[in-house]
Structure 1
């Protein structure tokens, strides 16, 4: 009876899992595609799932027919013995081949189409490109985004224009990670010894539905804080994206602190934090020297450390004890303890790092 009671839970848990699988938001679901790449991959998913469902239904129907029609009706009765049927052998050999071709041909075609990144290598006479290229660097446990043609670097929030191809160079600085924006397309590894390339498109209508904000994360187990290695994607119309780029390019030196607390916080920052965190977007700093996320536009962001709500209280909690939120991160224990007043001052300075009105 106890075993029976446990088995009764199985249908309930299955129903709950089925219901929860339909939950999600448009900015983080791979089943709600928000761009060309995601649409193509979603179509392949539906095609393969449809083929599998048809095969299961056909096999199940045949099984039930055989089970009931040809079951033994009387003791001692021996069913008719049939050995070999060339027609049936041909059918059950040809059908799987046809199904595989139906699945393989579009899959191979889409693979080659999605792997075409030649436009990102075409440069004009002045060395710039018509295509937008972003160098993505993954580190434990944060993301850096460099726009080489625009000569700016930012981190934790990727900003892209909608309705056009955005090309990515992907690499890791320490261990293998994986770059994944579920709503925009499938994941791709960021390796330390090889460079992977891909492109994505962010649909303007879907971006508007999602509030211009999509969700990205690491999809490769990389350490104790793998689950918290998140980033956000701001998908903006081209005009707004250009405005953001211009705002970042206008920052030639760190944003000046305005209040007394912010000025005191800037002094603390310059003594303790600037060795790892830059507060200007220029990409002249050698890559090896970029040990922590770029904070040029920290005050404009939507998350602290990629996972916490963007407010001073969460920022102070993060600075005070980063190990609590991201175990194993490089910032843990690096700067010693700050007095509550110093935390307030440092938070005031960082929240004031804004490049947009």
Structure 2
């Protein structure tokens, strides 16, 4: 790990393959260390041979400039040596690499494994929990100490699912279901992103994995099954009406009378508890209003139209209602 010290400032502390928080990530870090060790060994040996040859066979005063050193072309011993050694090193690297790769996509997950359907869209991630009949978007909640089987698919173009602190990448392909098994051993927030160039807003196609202790995860599931989505104040009621007029063709809100209508955009149930707006901005009223007015400025090429035709009072009402969804 010391060799990677200079790289620790290159990204988010919640998004590092060099600081794994689960068994899959730890195994993959072992592979990184193994491959780095092999490459370092090769560099040291080659450099040592190079330095030795340069010093030993350098031209010295008094040498016969016409003398030709002993030629070793066609030496069977040397040819066997420099053919066999790389093969041995490749085998040492290939065996654990192949084993780890297939272990992460086992066809028969262990009993008790949590299943989550993850779908990539331009430019957001949708998550469904078939065992609990709940869904969410851009933030996926999991219990600690329990294996999670992500069933990965893409709605439009090829995406890639990557949570560096928990495990490696897996492509998400339209028309196919890929599998990835991850586990978080510590509660916390882990950054994820699409690692496949998927369009103009690829760089802002991010999501978060939020790992809870098992009891807290069950509480989160319970809250998702009984969401608080009814408006109370007049402003919230106005926002609820505007959402119905402008958003429900694409979005669903459980418990608000819009449970099954919108399915082409992110699920909005419990929106106030999300840490980000559209996976790109901190979730606060100011950023939410910016998103509603001009989503193309924040995520160019996304499928959501802007609501710049609404006045400030109407936008504030929409923001107020969305920020009360629990």
Structures share fold, TM-score greater than 0.5: yes
1:290 aligns to what?
Answer: 263
Q: CA–CA distance in 1 between the matches of 2:242 and 2:226?
A: 25
Q: CA–CA distance in 1 between the matches of 2:148 and 2:258?
A: 19
Matches within 5 A, 1:99-114: 99-114=89-104
Residue 59 of structure 1: how far off its partner (Å)? 0.3
Give 5+ residue unaligned stretches, structure 1: 1-17, 123-129
Tell me if structure 1 keeps the 8 A contact 2:253–2:259. no
Q: CA–CA distance in 1 between the matches of 2:209 and 2:190?
A: 5
1:165 aligns with 2:150: no
1:279 aligns to what?
Answer: 253
Question: Which has the higher mean CA deviation after the structures are superposed, 53-62 or 69-78?
Answer: 69-78
Give 5+ residue unaligned stretches, structure 2: none
1:229 aligns to what?
Answer: 205
1:33 aligns with 2:5: no
Tell me if structure 2 keeps the 8 A contact 1:117–1:199. no
Residue 25 of structure 1: how far off its partner (Å)? 4.0
Tell me if structure 2 keeps the 8 A contact 1:262–1:348. yes
SS in 2 for 1:193: coil
2:314 aligns to what?
Answer: 342
Q: CA–CA distance in 1 between the matches of 2:179 and 2:279?
A: 24
Tell me if structure 2 keeps the 8 A contact 1:171–1:195. yes
Matches within 5 A, 1:233-248: 233-248=209-224
Change (3 A) 1:93 1:347: same
Tell me if structure 2 keeps the 8 A contact 1:72–1:79. no
Instruction: Count matched residues.
Output: 318
Tell me if structure 2 keeps the 8 A contact 1:117–1:198. no
Residue 93 of structure 1: how far off its partner (Å)? 2.0
Change (3 A) 1:170 1:19: same
1:88 aligns with 2:78: yes
Question: Which has the higher mean CA deviation after the structures are superposed, 87-96 or 57-66?
Answer: 87-96
After superposition, give the CA deviation of every residue in 1:202-233 in whole Å (9 maximum; x if it has no partner). 112xx3xxxx2111111100000000001111
Tell me if structure 1 keeps the 8 A contact 2:239–2:314. yes
Q: CA–CA distance in 2 between the matches of 1:117 and 1:314?
A: 42
Tell me if structure 2 keeps the 8 A contact 1:114–1:199. yes
Residue 338 of structure 1: how far off its partner (Å)? 1.1
1:138 aligns to what?
Answer: 120
Tell me if structure 2 keeps the 8 A contact 1:177–1:219. yes
Residue 75 of structure 1: how far off its partner (Å)? 5.4
SS in 2 for 1:52: helix
Residue 117 of structure 1: how far off its partner (Å)? 3.6
Q: CA–CA distance in 1 between the matches of 2:27 and 2:77?
A: 37
Residue 69 of structure 1: how far off its partner (Å)? 0.8
Matches within 5 A, 1:213-228: 213-228=189-204
Residue 283 of structure 1: how far off its partner (Å)? 12
1:5 aligns to what?
Answer: none
SS in 1 for 2:296: helix
2:49 aligns to what?
Answer: 62
Tell me if structure 1 keeps the 8 A contact 2:149–2:181. yes
Matches within 5 A, 1:172-321: 172-204=154-186, 207=187, 212-251=188-227, 255-280=229-254, 285=260, 290-321=263-294
1:119 aligns with 2:101: no
Residue 176 of structure 1: how far off its partner (Å)? 0.7
Residue 336 of structure 1: how far off its partner (Å)? 5.3
